[in-house]
Amino acid sequence: MALALLARFLWMPLVQLGAGASIASPEPEGLQEAERFLEKYGYLGSTHRGIRPAEFSEAVREFQWVSHLSLSGKLDASTVHQMNLPRCGVNDARSFAAWKERMDALLLGRRAEKKRRKRYSHQSGQWYKRHLTYRVVNWPWYLPQQQVRLAVKAAFELWSNVSSLVFWEATSDPADIRLTFFHGDHNDGTDNAFDGPGGALAHAFFPRRGEAHFDNDERWSLDSSKGRNLFVVVAHEIGHTLGLEHSPVRSALMSPYYKKLGKDFVLSWDDILAIQNLYGKPPWGSTVQLPGKLFARFHDWSQDIEGRERQEGNPSAHYCRSFFDAITIDLEGNLYIFKGGYFWTVSKGGNTTGPELLRTKWPGLPSTIDAAAFSEEDGKFYFFKGGRCWRYGPSLEAGFPQKCSSTGDLPRHPDAALYFQPLRHLVLFKGPKYYVVNEETFQVEPYYPRSLRDWGGVPAMANGALTHLDGFVYFFRNDGFWKFDPDKLQVVASGKWAPQLPWLGCQAVDPS
């Protein structure tokens, strides 16, 4: 590779080092963005006529209170970070008042609660019947319908198992509550227009409008592969359709921020208090609660698909109709495509085999991975998951897995990994940055991470990347691919990988 091209990757950091050293003060652009955020989420009135600094500072303080940050009233780094976290698009304006009512009712006892319920319950509304129907109007093309229906059913059950409500699925309209996926602006106001991946993930309306909307530009998931857990977000939005406001309690499902499933119950005491304030306890008295982990996967598609593909010798492998977690290619030109706990192999001639369990070829790997790469330098496979990394050459090497995020400053949960010939190193991609990694030591090379802008036109949050036999580097995200020319350092083509790249073994697949 010519020196001039290497310069873009290696020498520019020196120039940037000086520029980046100045202390960041909120730029006007960041300030405007914060104002828009605070207005959208109900902390500031209309910002059209300009706002006074005191007003702004008060709004920031309120936001900090709800978000459990220190109450500086300033746009400090942790506040800006919090504003950029994925969340629900419903505003937080009444969340404090609604929470205070719940607490007062709890402390003052049932009589006061009844009085209050009369006084306040009209504000967010409630249903005047206990039997409600729901309908899933559409869903992302890459999720099996059966899986979506099971997850939505379980999400409604979370609420019916702790209250007097009962839900039925309706397969056609009318239904009391409708769940719909939309892209961008979808005719319920510019404030409600979806914003692409991240940011607002979904929103819903209070009773008795019965509508919950989900951002179709998110990558949704119902098993443990990458993406936003749809079950959690559906359960949260259902809460709004039943009349619940956001909760300032951090562990609450109705907290505005996106949460992962863990070993705790999905609903917190505050969620249960809120729903029972509106609809009372279950008729049988006690509530039924299960740990979040149990909802981490719905109906193991892999078993189903595995059986069917094996039986029919079906060439249209499951990964063709879905997203994958990671991809790499070895020296012989065999592709490895990873999804969930499985991988497929596509030979240079286009023969597809799989799905096979990750652990059959790479014993010791976790149940899913974030990123994978094969190094042309040493002929070894590298895997990344969370903050850990694994090296196989061909069996798991001594000392692995390692905690690479702490020993080598590697990013946690990398989006994609690639062996990049011109740099003779592994490259990890994470959000807007990339990291050049020494595969001997797992240390990030000096002057990295750097901005993804170096990779002219490559999108952030790729699922995987590889250098194909044709010499181009291919990046994959969801159903799209980007073909990167390592000489021009520029994306030279893009499109949909399943129908357009025959070497991925998906040409026999009907795209629907």
Ligand X SMILES: *[C@@H]1O[C@H](CO)[C@@H](O)[C@H](O)[C@H]1NC(C)=O
Site size toward ligand X, by CB under 6 A: 9
| Residue 203 annotated in ligand binding | yes
7 binds, options ligand X, Zn ion, none, Cβ within 5 to 8 A by partner type: none
Nearest Cα residue to 64 out of 72, 52, 56:
72
φ/ψ of 255, rounded to 5, equals -65, 145
Q: In this complex, which beta carbon is closest to ligand X, that of residue 124 or of residue 347? A: 347
Site for ligand X in 289-308 (CB under 6 A): 290
State the DSSP code for 403: -
Pairing of strands 464-467, 450-451: unpaired
Residue 478's region, left for phi above 0, alpha for psi from -120 to 50, else beta, is left
Site string for Zn ion, 213-232 (x = CB under 5 A): x-------------------
Site for Zn ion in 62-101 (CB under 5 A): 88, 90
Q: Which of 20, 189, 349, 502 binds ligand X (CB under 6 A)?
A: 349
| Residue 485 annotated in ligand binding | no
State the DSSP code for 143: S
Rounded to the nearest 10 degrees, the angle between the axes of helix 95-108 and helix 269-279 is 80
Q: Is 188 in the site for Zn ion (CB under 5 A)?
A: yes
Q: In this complex, which beta carbon is closest to ligand X, that of residue 12 or of residue 261? A: 261
Among the listed residues 35, 62, 237, 245, the single catalytic one is: 237
Nearest Cα residue to 277 out of 188, 163, 199, 169:
163
Instruction: State the Cα–Cα distance between residues 464 and 370, nearest whole angstrom.
Output: 9
Q: Who contacts 21 (Cβ-Cβ below 8 Å, separation ≥6)? A: none
CA 250 to chain centre: 19
Q: Is 288 in the site for ligand X (CB under 6 A)?
A: yes
Place of tokens 């990671």: 326
DSSP notation for 294-323:
GGS-SS-HHHHHHHHHHHHT-SS-GGGGS-
The amino acid at 468: H
Structure tokens at 480: 């799209």
Instruction: State the Cα–Cα distance between residues 293 and 260, nearest whole angstrom.
Output: 9
| Residue 195 annotated in ligand binding | yes
CB 151 within 8 Å of CB 194: no
Shortest CB 107 distance to ligand X, Å: 29
Q: Is 330 in the site for ligand X (CB under 6 A)?
A: no
213 binds, options Zn ion, ligand X, none, Cβ within 5 to 8 A by partner type: Zn ion
Q: Is 157 in the site for ligand X (CB under 6 A)?
A: yes
Q: Is 285 in the site for ligand X (CB under 6 A)?
A: no
Kindly calculate the radius of gyration of the chain based on its CA atoms and give it in whole angstroms.
25
| Residue 299 annotated in ligand binding | no
439 in active site: no
Helical (H) or strand (E) element with 133: strand 131-136
Q: In this complex, which beta carbon is closest to Zn ion, that of residue 210 or of residue 464? A: 210
192 binds, options ligand X, Zn ion, none, Cβ within 5 to 8 A by partner type: Zn ion
Per CB under 5 A, the segment of 105-113, 189-197, 404-412, 441-449 that binds Zn ion is 189-197
Instruction: State the Cα–Cα distance between residues 82 and 84, nearest whole angstrom.
Output: 5
3-state SS track over 237-255: HHHHHCCCCCCCCCCCCCC
161 binds, options ligand X, Zn ion, none, Cβ within 5 to 8 A by partner type: ligand X
Q: Who contacts 37 (Cβ-Cβ below 8 Å, separation ≥6)? A: 83
Q: Which of 44, 51, 98, 158 binds ligand X (CB under 6 A)?
A: 158
Q: In this complex, which beta carbon is closest to Zn ion, that of residue 90 or of residue 506? A: 90
Q: In this complex, which beta carbon is closest to Zn ion, that of residue 10 or of residue 137? A: 137
90 binds, options ligand X, Zn ion, none, Cβ within 5 to 8 A by partner type: Zn ion
Site for ligand X in 208-247 (CB under 6 A): none
| Residue 389 annotated in ligand binding | no
Shortest CB 504 distance to ligand X, Å: 15
Shortest CB 154 distance to ligand X, Å: 5
349 binds, options Zn ion, ligand X, none, Cβ within 5 to 8 A by partner type: ligand X
Q: Which of 82, 95, 147, 161 binds ligand X (CB under 6 A)?
A: 161
Shortest CB 246 distance to ligand X, Å: 21
Helical (H) or strand (E) element with 214: strand 211-215
The amino acid at 152: V
Shortest CB 426 distance to ligand X, Å: 29
| Residue 464 annotated in ligand binding | no
The amino acid at 45: G
Q: In this complex, which beta carbon is closest to ligand X, that of residue 222 or of residue 404? A: 222
Shortest CB 295 distance to ligand X, Å: 7
Structure tokens at 5: 């091209």
- Residue 335 bridge partners (DSSP): 329, 346
| Residue 83 annotated in ligand binding | no
Per CB under 6 A, the segment of 98-106, 153-161, 317-325, 414-422 that binds ligand X is 153-161
Structure tokens at 441: 């030591």
DSSP notation for 424-480:
TEEEEEETTEEEEEETTTTEEPTT--EEGGGSBTPPSS-SEEEE-TTS-EEEEETTE
Active site residues: 237
Residues that bind Zn ion in the complex, under the rule CB under 5 A:
88, 90, 188, 192, 213
Output the known binding site for Zn(2+).
88, 186, 188, 203, 213, 236, 240, 246, 254
Output the known binding site for Ca(2+).
176, 195-196, 215, 218, 325, 327, 370, 372, 417
Output the known binding site.
88, 176, 186, 188, 195-196, 203, 213, 215, 218, 236, 240, 246, 254, 325, 327, 370, 372, 417
